[in-house]
Amino acid sequence: MEAAVMFEQGLPAPFEESEPFKIEQVELDGPYVGEVLVEVRAGGLCHSDLSQVAGLRKRKVPVVGGHEGAGIVREVGPGVTRFAPGDHVIMTGAVGCGHCHMCGENRPNLCDEVAATRAGGGVHGDTRRLSYMGEPLYHYSGISSFAQYAITDPDALLKVDDSVPLEVAALFGCGVVTGAGAVFNTAHVRPGQNVAVIGLGGVGLNSVMAARISGASHILGIDILEDKFPLARDLGCTETVLASDPDIVRRIKDLTGGGVEYVFEVSGHRNSVALALDITRKGGEIICVGLGASGDMYEYPHARLVGEEKALRGTFMGGGNATGDIPRYVKYYQEGRMPIDRLMSGTMTFGELNRSLDLLARGAVNRTILLPHA
């Protein structure tokens, strides 16, 4: 089958020239016991892929890319009873094993076993089903949706109604569950509260839509690119502000009577975290959604954190249980409350994947969807 393989990290932009993803003919085994063969119909490209390409977070290579997607079950291995050929499914890494300590605490997004599988580049444990010219390839987050077919653990799949277009369904596996979950699960935003979202890409706009559903009063959208503002306002922002505005802190405090209760920092930049601390009211929380490089260190004025009783906390993959959360978000989409399809900037073929990385790096797109069989 055809697949996008990353053989090394850290290649320079423009990616259309350095070609971090090589389009190759690879082999796929299985499904073995407890595995599912999915025909991948759509795979989403997001900033996590950019981070991996840039080498900001190390990944075992060579690896077949893609960590969110959707497709159709074509075959199930022995012991798989929850899925059958023909099922439409969402592919996600935001699930757990069901028996470790974190899963027992109903925090499967922090599952120890799944984290080990991601780090090891396997489907489950160190099991690998991909190979190229006889040599094993690693799986990306147990998904590897940048391919025409994928072998996954059943726990990485969720059934989705056939009426949901698969290119839309692909977005739920990472971008939707991360951005919306930060609002619903981590912050538990209540009606009448004020929030700000720093970074209005695919994940940030999901936070905006979730804040609107939660009944937030002021929903402030902040970004370095003004051309992102019209869509952000359509999806729920009551005000939009350029991050470069020298008067941004005073403006937001005046508008909200002292600052917002929650800031969702989606960009992962140090300056944005500092801004988030400045615009959060006393007793408020900064929810860190975005990631920088693995070794990045961030500074904050500790006296303000203590004296103003602010909280600085992280959230990973939506801070909830994707098995229950994603069907709820799909329902919101079907009801028109979360128009996820508006986040799509278009589709691409394998030959356009590296160029799409350049567009994403420039902030020119939100989510571009790979159609592996196009």
Profile the chain (374 residues) by mean pLDDT over runs of 10 residues: 97 96 97 96 93 87 96 98 98 88 91 86 89 96 96 95 97 96 97 98 97 98 96 98 96 96 94 94 96 84 92 93 94 98 96 96 93 96
Residue 147: Cβ-neighbour burial (10 angstroms; 0-12, 13-18, 19+)? buried
Instruction: Quote the pLDDT of residue 338.
Output: 98
Please check whether the two domains, 2-173+339-370 and 177-316, share a CATH topology: no
Q: Given this model, what pLDDT does residue 57 score?
A: 80
Write down the pLDDT at residue 334.
98
Helix-helix angle 270-279:248-256, to 10 degrees: 40
pTM as predicted? 0.95
User: For residue 7, what pLDDT is reported?
Assistant: 98
pLDDT for 299 equals 87
**Domain boundaries defined on the chain:** 2-173+339-370, 177-316
Q: Give the model confidence (pLDDT) of 166-213 as tens digits.
A: 999 999 999 999 999 999 999 999 999 999 999 999 999 999 999 999
The tally of CA atoms less than 13 A away on the side-chain side of residue 90 is 28
**pLDDT given for residue 56 in this prediction:** 84
- Looking at residue 55, what is its pLDDT? 87
* Residue-level pLDDT at 119: 83
Predicted pLDDT at 124? 79
Q: Is the dihedral of CA 356, 357, 359, 363 positive or negative?
A: positive
Rounded Cα–Cα distance for residues 258 and 250 (Å): 9
Burial class (CB in 10 A: 0-12, 13-18, 19+), 324: exposed
pLDDT of residue 96: 87
Between CA 44 and CA 133 the distance in angstroms is 27
Which of the following CATH numbers is that of domain 2-173+339-370: 1.10.10.10, 3.30.1370.60, 3.40.50.11600, 3.90.180.10?
3.90.180.10
CATH number of 177-316: 3.40.50.720
